[in-house]
Every structure is written in structure tokens, then in C-alpha cells.
A = this chain, B = another copy of it.
Amino acid sequence: MANPEAKTPRERYRAQVRTEIKDRAWEQIATAGASALSLNAIAKQLGMSGPALYRYYAGRDELITELVRDAYRSLADAFRAASPSGADVTTLAHALRAWALEDPQRYFLIYGTPVPGYHAPDDITAIASEIMATILDACAGLPSNGPETPLDAHLEDHRDWADGHPAPAAGLHRALSFWTRLHGTLSLELAGHFNGMGFDPALLYAAELDALTGFGKM
């Protein structure tokens, strides 16, 4: 978060207030979702009146963008912490689920319903690419499984998004499936769509992971 190594006292104070604002924002988001985030309420909690907050953030959008940035960084950190020496698919998957369950609304801030007009700044998409690269690293080492699919061939022709990653086309395919399948089960679980169905979402998640690594059917 905001550089704590700031030189001047003013800068340090400013940085501290900014993180305090973000802390309160995360509390609000965790309990009521991002759409219910109120700058006024945050200011009141910090003991200052409404507009004072605009000294620190240009507006609601800028604050939320900063929260999205932090969320991406947090996920990238979680991946890095989970597998320091290169990556392992299973470890990554467990780290992803743990990170998501820790704060579901933080997950939805990244992977939830998008606001139609919004475009993320470049530095955020860069962090997203770093996360994708970690997944690609993990999938590159997986054993090949079955014949080449039409998608594999297509991905061989459109591998620019992998940003020069040396993984074979099957690895790119596997990375995309890793992303989409785990996101699929995770987001439905976090959204409560499995509530009352009785089964354990962790086992479904594990089954999808097994299928990905080749230890399960489908």
C-alpha cells in the first residue's frame, strides 16, 4: 500500500490517512458489497466531515479503482507466497480458494459483475498478466493428456496474450481451463448458489482440480 518510506511528515500522515480510508472501505465492502460503499460514511467513521475525504481521493471511482488494484496485488502476493519456487497447479488452486473465502467481496471486486463503461488502468492489467503468468508456469509442466484439440490449434495461432511464455499450446489451454473452471465453481459458491444444496463445495472444487491435473475423469 501507499509508500510508508515517505520522507516528509506530511507525506507520511497523508499515506496513513489514505490507508485508513481504504481499511474502512474494505469493512464496508465486506459487509454490504461495493455498490453500498459510501464516502460520507467513511469520513464520519474517521471523525471528519464529508468533503475532507476528497483531499485524499478524487472521488468514489478513484477509491474503488485503488481497492481493485490492492485486491489484484493481494491475489498476486497470495500466489507468490503459496509457491515461492516456481508454481504447482494444486497449490495455486488451494491458495486461490483460500484467498477468495477470506473475503468474498474482494473476489467479486475483481471477478464479479463489471460496470459497463469501466476500463481498468494499465498498471492493473499488468498485475492481472502477472497472475496469468503464474498460472501458465504451473500449467506448462503438466503432462500432456489426450490428442490435440481444435482449441489447441487456435491458441497456437493466438498466443500473443501469453506474452512470450514458452508453454506449449496444450499448456495455454490448460491455463485457461484452470482459470475458467475454478472461477466457475468458486464464484457460484461465493454467490451462495450452492446454499441449501447439501453437498460440500470444497469437494466439487477438488473434483474440478483433479480433472485439470489429470487425476479425475472429465
Contacts and interface: CB of A to CB of B under 8 A. Distances in A.
B113 A191 contact: yes
Interface of A is mostly: helix
A200 B151 CA distance: 9
Interface string A74-114: 00000000000000000000000000000001001001111
A137 interface: no
Interface stretch (A1-9, A14-22, A50-58, A177-185): A177-185
State the copy count for this chain: 2
A47 interface: no
A207 B149 contact: yes
A34 B35 CA distance: 10
Contacts of A31: 116
Contacts of A191: 111-114
A71 to B, nearest CB: 13
24 contacts: A32-B117, A33-B116, A35-B115, A108-B113, A114-B191, A114-B192, A145-B217, A149-B216, A150-B203, A151-B203, A151-B204, A151-B206, A154-B199, A154-B200, A158-B197, A158-B198, A158-B200, A160-B198, A161-B197, A173-B207, A177-B208, A180-B184, A180-B185, A180-B208
